[in-house]
Amino acid sequence: MNKLIGYLLGPVVCGMGIFAIVHANSEATNVRALNDHGAVAMAEVTRIGWKQKRTGGGQQQFTVDMEFVTDSKEKISVEDYSVPTDLGTEIKANNGATLKVRYLPEDPQKVDLVDYPKNWVATRWAGVAMAVLGAIFTWWKFRKISEDV
């Protein structure tokens, strides 16, 4: 069983790195579009809560439901939007808040907080590091197998 885990560790880490790179590139595309032609609105927080991260590490983060009105007078509701811990603590202490958001006029469900930019660059570099380390580990394992044969 331990041998199997050793053989699968490299490809799994490499795959996770590739997934992180793809996720970061998708986030970067959204951020660029929001910065390029996004519209700004004030969103009212309607609910704040906790969300368990899927990593299984027991980490939680604040999520909010918010509503805002677009420039075309359309009312938009966004549910379970993750916010930074310091902002979530402030919203909870004040029993609600109004947040400045940027949204895409052609897809108002794509929003980002104006004052709290997402860190997609760090995610991309973490993904590159994981993919490279996974590839090196995989190469090393298969090299070791070929030497033993």
Is residue 149, in this structure, part of any structural domain at all? no
Contacts of 42 (CB under 8 A, 6+ apart): 68, 98, 99, 100, 101
Residue 27, pLDDT > 90, answer no
Of all residues in the chain, the percent with pLDDT exceeding 90 is 48
Domain of 75, in residue numbers: 13-141
With respect to residue 3, please indicate whether it lies within any of the assigned structural domains: no
Q: Is residue 5 part of a domain?
A: no
- The larger pLDDT score, comparing residue 99 to residue 61, is at 99
DSSP H stretches of helix in the chain: 2-37, 85-93, 120-148
Residue 147 lies in a domain: no
Per-residue pLDDT tens digits for 85-127: 888 888 888 888 899 999 999 999 999 998 887 778 888 999 9
| DSSP-assigned letter for residue 35 | H
In a domain? residue 44: yes
Question: Would 92 be classed as within a structural domain?
Answer: yes
Tell whether 1 is covered by a domain: no
Q: H-helix or E-strand containing 79?
A: strand 75-83
Determine, yes or no, domain membership for 81: yes
The model's pTM is 0.71
Under a CB-based contact definition with an 8 Å cutoff, are residues 67 and 2 in contact?
A: no
pLDDT of residue 82: 87
| Count of the separate structural domains present in the chain | 1
